[in-house]
Amino acid sequence: VMASGYSAKEEDGHHSGALGPAGGAAVRSRKPDNTAFKQQRLPAWQPILTAGTVLPAFFIIGLLFIPIGIGLYVTSNNIRELQIDYTGTESSSPCFACSQNYSWNMTTPCVCSVSFSLDQPFESNVFMYYGLSNFYQNHRRYVKSRDDSQLNGNLNSLKEPSKECEPYRTNDGKPIAPCGAIANSLFNDTLALYYNDPNGTETQIQLVKRGIAWWTDKHVKFRNPVGDDSNLTAIFQGTAKPVNWQKPVYELDSDPENNGFINEDLIVWMRTAALPTFRKLYRIIEKNSSTSPTLPRGNYTLKITYNYPVRSFEGRKRMILSTISWMGGKNPFLGIAYITVGSICFFLGVVLLIIHHKYGSRSSSADLTH
């Protein structure tokens, strides 16, 4: 139906040349050029794919993929990972009370602590993630609801945020900074990790806040607005804090390099997750001595300042401790997939080889001619 709409020569009858005085007599009478291009005889490589040519490819793929797969699998298996769900929907959970009694305008924060133990030590740097489930950060309405130019430090956008930020664009007539639903729903549980020494003392583990966001985000994409005053508070004067926030953006952190729009927790949150179940990097536990593991085997306590409600949409919250390898976090999928594909290729290669031997001894690998 549609292709018929297009016609190359709709106006066949309108050949102006034929109507002109010179008329159709002006027919080309010259011989076509004898060029390779016009005669469709450009030199060409003409590969013929037959079992013969394809066969080595199968073996090569097989031989390459299986070791890669094994490497990946082993790497993934060597990664230590620990996940603790602290949503608190079950009555047995330590955070049950916090999750039940939650309301936005609470004055005293609700704190709950979860104890766990590590059977094996985490040797290298440990990365602490928070994970959310059934949280649609990739909902279109949500994804749109931000103003990148405001976050980039544009003063106009600071005062006049983008329309996309609705309904979190202004509050009481004052522009919200940072505006939009994403910023408004910034994850605000505070997670603290304590090591329970066998001798009974509890030592808080140092959590590094920096280096959790992409370098380019932190240094280019996100910038604090620059005013006459170097004081962030003054610059953000006249803006409102996001509705659900407890403190304004210029009080996110005491470190001026991690405050305002360049607060890394905010930046990490602003990179919307791909799937409704996701994890985001929260803190890094750096390895300080080369001799002792970062997290030795033993008992730990996770203390959560429970601010973030997920019960209303049946979401879940997790804390994840993980070491990292060259391939990132723990993910056995790639290793298994590589081994599988490699084996399939190898197997097919063998089958094809048998077929090849049985039926066609004539076709060689030099199947290509010019």
Partner 1 sequence: MWRRRLTCLFGGEEKRVDSRTIHAGRGSSPVADAFPQQKFCDNRIVSSKYTIWNFLPKNLFEQFRRIANFYFLIIFLVQVIVDTPTSPVTSGLPLFFVITVTAIKQGYEDWLRHKADNEVNKYPVTVLEDGKRVGKESEKIKVGDVVEVLEDETFPCDLVLLQSSRDDDTCFVTTASLDGESNHKTHYTVPDTVKDVESLHATIECEQPQPDLYKFVGRMHIRRDGQETAVRSLGPENLLLKGATLKNTKKIYGVAVYTGMETKMALNYQGKSQKRSVVEKSINAFLIVYLCLLVSKAFVCTTLKYVWQNQHGQDEPWYNPKTQQERDTNLYLKMFTDFLSFMVLFNFIIPVSMYVTVEMQKFLGSFFITWDKDFFDPEVQEGALVNTSDLNEELGQVEYIFTDKTGTLTENNMEFIECCIDGFQYKNHKFLTETDGLCETDGPITITLNKAPEELEELFLRALCLCHTVQVKESQPVDEIDGVVLDQVDGFSPSPEDQCAFIASSPDEVALVKGAMTHGFTFIGSDSKSMKIRNRDNRVEVYELLHVLNFDPVRRRMSVIVKSESGEVLLFCKGADSSIFPRVRKEEVDRIRVHVERDAKEGYRTLCVAYKRLGNEDFARVDAELREARLSLHDREEKLMAVYNQVETDMILIGATAVEDRLQDRAAETMEALQGAGMKVWVLTGDKMETAKSTCYACRLFQRGTELLELTVGALGEGEGKREERLLELLLEYHKRVVHDTPPSKTGLHRTWSSPGQDYGLIVDGATLSLLLNASPDGTGSHYKNLFLKICQSCTSVLCCRMAPLQKAQIVRMVKSSKGSPITLSVGDGANDVSMILEAHVGIGIKGKEGRQAVRNSDYAIPKLKHLKKLLLVHGHLYYVRIAHLVQYFFYKNLCFILPQFLYQFYCGYSQLPLYDAAYLTMYNICFTSMPILAYSLFEQHISIDTLLDHAALYREVAKNAMLRWGPFFYWTMLGVFHGLLFFFGVYCVFSNPALLPSGQVFGNWTFGTIVFTILVFTVTIKLALDTRHWTWINHFVIWGSLAFYILFSFFWGGITWPFLEQQRLYFVFINMLSSMSAWLAIMLLIVLSLLPDVLLVALRRPRGRNTRQVLPRSPLCFPSIPHQVFQIPPVSHLHAHISSFLHASFLCISFLCPLSLFNSAVAG
Site for partner 1 in 91-130 (CB under 8 A): 125, 127, 129
Q: Which stretch binds partner 1 (CB under 8 A): 87-95, 163-171, 199-207, 294-302?
A: 163-171
**Is the CB of 28 or the CB of 247 nearer to partner 1?**
28
Shortest spacing between CB 340 and partner 1, in angstroms: 9
Contact 43, 37 (CB under 8 A): no
Query: How far is 179 from 266, CA to CA, in rounded Å?
Result: 12
> What track of x and - describes contact with partner 1 for positions 3 through 42 (by CB under 8 A)?
xxxxxxxxxxxxxxxxxxxxxxx-xxx-xxxx-x-xxxxx
Q: Which stretch binds partner 1 (CB under 8 A): 105-113, 115-123, 213-221, 245-253?
A: 213-221
Question: How, if at all, do strands 170-171 and 174-175 pair?
Answer: antiparallel
Residue 328, interface with partner 1 (CB under 8 A)?
A: yes
User: Residue 207: which H helix or E strand, with range?
Assistant: none
**Is the CB of 54 or the CB of 205 nearer to partner 1?**
54
Q: Which stretch binds partner 1 (CB under 8 A): 171-179, 248-256, 286-294, 319-327?
A: 319-327
Query: How far is 125 from 130, CA to CA, in rounded Å?
Result: 17
Exposed/middle/buried for 218, CB within 10 Å: 0-12, 13-18, 19+? buried
- Name which position in 91, 107, 288, 312 contacts partner 1 (CB under 8 A): 312
Locate tokens 């197997």: which residue? 347
By CB under 8 A, what part of segment 37-76 binds partner 1? Answer: 38-58, 60-61, 64-65, 68, 71-72
Query: How far is 102 from 82, CA to CA, in rounded Å?
Result: 27
- Name which position in 73, 110, 113, 149 contacts partner 1 (CB under 8 A): 149
Residues 6+ away with beta carbon under 8 Å from 188: 245, 246, 307, 308
At 166 the three-state DSSP class reads coil
Residue 360, interface with partner 1 (CB under 8 A)?
A: yes
Query: How far is 304 from 98, CA to CA, in rounded Å?
Result: 10
Question: With CB under 8 A, what is the number of residues at the site for partner 1?
Answer: 140
- Name which position in 96, 102, 142, 195 contacts partner 1 (CB under 8 A): 142
By CB under 8 A, what part of segment 243-302 binds partner 1? Answer: 268, 271-276, 278-281, 284
Quickly list H helices, 195-331.
Answer: 215-216, 232-235, 264-270
Residue 221, interface with partner 1 (CB under 8 A)?
A: yes
Locate tokens 């031997």: which residue? 357
**Is the CB of 188 or the CB of 196 nearer to partner 1?**
188
**Is the CB of 43 or the CB of 198 nearer to partner 1?**
43
**Is the CB of 50 or the CB of 299 nearer to partner 1?**
50
Q: What are the φ and ψ backbone dihedral angles of 191, each rounded to 5 degrees?
A: -110, 130
Return the ∠ at Cα 167 (arms to 165 and 173), rounded to 5°.
95
Count of CB atoms within 10 A of residue 100's CB? Answer: 12
Shortest spacing between CB 109 and partner 1, in angstroms: 18
Shortest spacing between CB 262 and partner 1, in angstroms: 15
